[in-house]
Amino acid sequence: MSHQVTIKPSGHLFHTQNDETILEAALREGFALPYGCRNGACGTCKGKILEGSVDYGSYQATALTEDEKLAGYALFCCARPQSDLLIEVREIGAAREIPIKTLPCRVQAMEQVAPDVMVLSLKLPANERLQFLAGQYVDILLKDGRRRSFSLANAPHDDELLQLHVRNVPGGTFTESVFTQLKEKDILRFEGPLGTFFLHEDSAKPILFVAGGTGFAPVKAMIEHAFHVGSGRPMTLYWGARAKRDLYMPQLPEEWSRAQPGFRFVPVLSEPVAADMWTGRTGLVHEAVLQDIPNLADYEVYVCGNPAMVEAAHRAFSARGLPEGAFFSDAFLFSTDPKPAT
């Protein structure tokens, strides 16, 4: 059964078909509502139901609290309309122009840049380019139907090869196979571009990028894009890792610092080893930001990495005056896809 959904404040209208979620229907009709995981885990797609009723679907309790539900909120990646709806949500202007494609790609190069980080360079078929916004991700489609998300580490202008930074999760279905089985010339399939973690270019505020581990991947794309379009915004990158070997391409941000007057790089190690002879910053990466900047009211912050870091940063930065609309993030959540029956 089809239901009409009206978006406030834009007044845009779309219709759900069959058993679609609000998000699925909106994206199909070209309206980019914010989302991250698309499986009820991250809360990015949260919006308000002003009129009408929904089936809330299944989701993680941390992504939508009971209080939020009582206040009228729902996760649009899980909620299915039971009547026509009036919803309130911020729309992403730019992403909706971009088609989401399913494409094969060839592994052009594999470079192990740290004990547990592999940089994959993927080549698309001739005459294919992936249009995307700096910071978005793709889903690698596994043979058994499951999917795994990886941020695009190259900027959109530099799109001859797509670059992924893959951290090896011991026992992980996909990432471990990258380190033990995948080889150059192998074919992968992916869907993308996905996600709403991209550089918002309609602001002149100074930017703080906070990356944990391979959370550097989308941040690299955003910074390279900002340099490419000549954004004069001051930018500081805080990149956190355990030990020095885990900062897997330190020469790149160091080079940016030398070449770009408005750019600063602050590496932060949480567990430096003696051999590192580390004299730089130590501790948790988001805490280094708090030590340096007492009031965040005039900044925009882009945070990417493991979910605990992203959540801690959100809480701490909000308490330091960062406006809600100035915090952008992607949390590297584990996939909750069930393993298909064999």
Ligand X SMILES: Cc1cc2nc3c(=O)[nH]c(=O)nc-3n(C[C@H](O)[C@H](O)[C@H](O)COP(=O)(O)OP(=O)(O)OC[C@H]3O[C@@H](n4cnc5c(N)ncnc54)[C@H](O)[C@@H]3O)c2cc1C
| Nearest-angstrom CA–CA distance, 280 and 122 | 34
Tell me, letter by letter, the H, E, C secondary structure of the chain.
CCEEEEEECCCCEEEECCCCCHHHHHHHCCCECCCCCCCCCCCCCEEEEEECCEECCCCCCCCCCHHHHHCCEEECCCCEECCCEEEECCCECCHHHCCCEEEEEEEEEEEEEECCEEEEEEECCCCCCCCCCCCCEEEEECCCCCEEEEECCCCCCCCCEEEEEEECCCCCHHHHHHHHCCCCCCEEEEEEEECCCCCCCCCCCCEEEEEEHHHHHHHHHHHHHHHHCCCCCCEEEEEEECCHHHCCCCHHHHHHHHHCCCEEEEEEECCCCHHHCCCCEECCHHHHHHHHCCCCCCCEEEEEECHHHHHHHHHHHHHCCCCHHHEEEEECCCCCCCCCCC
Does 167 engage in binding with ligand X (CB under 6 A)? Answer: yes
Of positions 100, 141, 169, 252, contacts ligand X by CB under 6 A: 169
Instruction: Give ∠ CA 315-320-322 in degrees, rounded to 5.
Output: 80
Residue 5 contacts which entry, ligand FES, ligand X, none (Cβ below 5-8 A, type-dependent)? none
| Nearest-angstrom CA–CA distance, 304 and 313 | 10
Q: Which amino acid is at 57?
A: G
Q: Is 124 left (phi over 0), alpha (psi -120 to 50) or beta?
A: beta
The residue range among 19-27, 60-68, 172-180, 265-273 that interacts with ligand X, by the rule CB under 6 A, is: 172-180
Nearer to ligand X, 3 or 167 (CB): 167
Residue 314 contacts which entry, ligand FES, ligand X, none (Cβ below 5-8 A, type-dependent)? none
Does 333 engage in binding with ligand X (CB under 6 A)? Answer: yes
At its nearest, how many Å lie between ligand FES and the CB of residue 75?
A: 5
Residue 266 contacts which entry, ligand X, ligand FES, none (Cβ below 5-8 A, type-dependent)? none
Nearer to ligand FES, 43 or 267 (CB): 43
Nearer to ligand X, 114 or 166 (CB): 166
| Nearest-angstrom CA–CA distance, 7 and 91 | 9
Residue 335 contacts which entry, ligand FES, ligand X, none (Cβ below 5-8 A, type-dependent)? ligand X
Q: Contact letters (x/-) for ligand X, 69-108, by CB under 6 A?
A: ----------------------------------------
Residue 35 contacts which entry, ligand FES, ligand X, none (Cβ below 5-8 A, type-dependent)? ligand FES
Residue 247 contacts which entry, ligand X, ligand FES, none (Cβ below 5-8 A, type-dependent)? none
| Nearest-angstrom CA–CA distance, 107 and 126 | 14
The residue range among 25-33, 119-127, 142-150, 291-299 that interacts with ligand X, by the rule CB under 6 A, is: 142-150
Does 46 engage in binding with ligand X (CB under 6 A)? Answer: no
Residue 63 contacts which entry, ligand X, ligand FES, none (Cβ below 5-8 A, type-dependent)? ligand FES
The residue range among 2-10, 161-169, 288-296, 315-323 that interacts with ligand X, by the rule CB under 6 A, is: 161-169
| Token pair recorded at residue 278 | 């580390």
Residue 214 contacts which entry, ligand X, ligand FES, none (Cβ below 5-8 A, type-dependent)? ligand X
At its nearest, how many Å lie between ligand X and the CB of residue 248?
A: 11
Binding residues for ligand FES (CB under 6 A) = 35-38, 40-45, 63, 75, 77
Nearer to ligand X, 21 or 39 (CB): 39
Of positions 33, 37, 155, 221, contacts ligand X by CB under 6 A: 37
Does 195 engage in binding with ligand X (CB under 6 A)? Answer: yes
Interaction site with ligand X (CB under 6 A): 36-37, 137, 148-151, 165-167, 169, 171-176, 195, 214, 217, 330, 332-335
